[in-house]
Amino acid sequence: MRGAAAAVRGVLVGLVAATTLAVSAAPSAAAVAGRISVDGARIRSCAGTGSACRVLALGYFGDAVTLKCHTTVGGRSWSRIHHHRSGKTGYVYGEYVYQDAGNGDWPPC
Q: Block means of pLDDT (10 residues each) for the chain, length 109 residues? A: 48 39 42 95 97 97 97 95 98 95 82
The amino acid at 57: A
pLDDT at 8: 41
pLDDT at 31: 77
Q: CB of 107 within 8 A of CB of 97?
A: no
Q: Please tell me whether the overall predicted TM-score, pTM, comes out greater than 0.85 for this model.
A: no
Report the 10 Å Cβ neighbour count for 28: 6
- H or E segment and range at residue 102: none
